[in-house]
A = this chain, B = another copy of it.
Amino acid sequence: MSAQVQLANDTLLRALARRPVPYTPIWLMRQAGRYLPEYTTTRARAGSFLALAKSPALATEVTLQPLERFPLDAAILFSDILTVPDAMGLGLYFAQGEGPRFERPVRDEAAVRALAAPDPADRLRYVLDAVREIRRALAGRVPLIGFSGSPYTLACYMVEGGGSEDFATLKRMLYSRPDLLHRILEVNAASVASYLNAQIEAGAQAVMIFDTWGGNLSTAGYQEFSLAYTRTVVSQLARERDGVRVPVILFTKGGGQWLEAMADSGCDALGLDWTTDQASARARVGARVALQGNLDPLALFASPDRVRREARRVLDAFGAEPGHVFNLGHGISQHTPVESVEALVDEVRAYSRKMREG
């Protein structure tokens, strides 16, 4: 993009910079997803989840769908968390009803030595094309958030070969060949940094690092195998584009015990899962970072009235001081009623405006 389009709604960016906002901005993890009938229709047209994620035109279409329904304050790139290892040649596929898998998991010395950071302009071009196309389609309505899995979370899938309850294969490598895991994490950190920088270059106005599995580590292990590499990524990111700050949000699911360390990683904001108490999170990180979260996604199974009540509880707990972005504590469930999302977005907007006026 040669010129930065003026944003009609920059509430998200201001809140991430802990500057005053008239109301608390809201977006939802996995907001473009299966709970929306129009998403299901587009996905059926694409043929598969991966075909959808790999088509810039269709990814643009689904990225914008939730914004047509709800007055959300951000769009988030529709993509998969595992695009990077797929671009490394590991062969991402989705087994029926089983989640992501790799044809060629990275389990021995030879596989680790063969790993190399992919050039995003080459094997991840479809993502960058999607970013550009989404920015054009948004035309400055709200900012676009880019994202990547964290180096550790990518390694979990790469070594295990897919999702897992306890990631025993990954842990076996961690405890018996930590040198191999460190090598994978180095490659992943370089890959994630260049991938996120390419997204920023293509137009992402904020980026989020999803550390979905960092919470399966011990405290010392989290520092050594997850946070250290996330810090490397953050330190290598372009943090400004056309004179505007590009904030970085770090989310570690199950990371509530480590917020102080996460806040010192160089990021601008922390995503909180739903288990973390809002007021103590704020007290622990002080004014160092903004906080994003953290309604239990399954609270959206309640009646609209109860959803509104739960939303007010979260807003009250964070308080009216600058630096809160409303979100769920994890991705929205595919079984969520659309009316619940309507009630949530409406209540967050109205109540948070009132909080600031009162």
Q: Which residues of A contact B (CB under 8 A)?
A: 166, 168, 171-172, 174-176, 215-222, 254, 256-257, 274-277, 280, 296, 298-299, 301-303, 306, 310, 313, 329, 333, 335
**Known contacts A176-B306, A221-B296, A301-B176, A215 near B171 by CB under 8 Å:** no
- A215, A219, A306 — most chain B CB neighbours (10 Å): A219
Q: Would you give 5 A-B contacts (Cβ < 8 Å), ordered by A?
A: A172-B301, A175-B298, A257-B257, A257-B275, A257-B277
Q: In the complex, what's the smallest C-beta–C-beta distance from A302 to chain B, in angstroms?
A: 4
Cβ-defined contact, B335 with A168, below 8 A:
yes
A77 to B296, CA, bound (A): 36
A166 to B296, CA, bound (A): 11
* CB-defined contacts of A275 to chain B, threshold 8 Å: 215-219, 222, 254, 257
Write the chain B residue with the least CB distance to A171: B298
* CB-defined contacts of A313 to chain B, threshold 8 Å: 220
A329 to B174, CA, bound (A): 17
Cβ-defined contact, A166 with B301, below 8 A:
no
A215 to B253, CA, bound (A): 12
A222 to B274, CA, bound (A): 11
Cβ-defined contact, B257 with A172, below 8 A:
no
* CB-defined contacts of A302 to chain B, threshold 8 Å: 175-176
* CB-defined contacts of A306 to chain B, threshold 8 Å: 175-176
A310 to B301, CA, bound (A): 43
Q: In the complex, what's the smallest C-beta–C-beta distance from A162 to chain B, in angstroms?
A: 14
* CB-defined contacts of A216 to chain B, threshold 8 Å: 275
Q: In the complex, what's the smallest C-beta–C-beta distance from A223 to chain B, in angstroms?
A: 10
The answer, among B172, B219, B299, for a CB contact under 8 Å with A276, is: B219
Write the chain B residue with the least CB distance to A277: B219
Cβ-defined contact, A296 with B335, below 8 A:
no
- Knowing that A168-B333, A218-B296 touch, tell me 7 more A-B residue pairs with CB under 8 angstroms: A166-B333, A172-B301, A175-B296, A176-B301, A216-B275, A219-B275, A254-B254
* CB-defined contacts of A175 to chain B, threshold 8 Å: 296, 298-299, 301-302, 306, 310
* CB-defined contacts of A329 to chain B, threshold 8 Å: 218
Q: In the complex, what's the smallest C-beta–C-beta distance from A343 to chain B, in angstroms?
A: 13
The answer, among B172, B219, B301, B303, for a CB contact under 8 Å with A171, is: B301
* CB-defined contacts of A310 to chain B, threshold 8 Å: 175
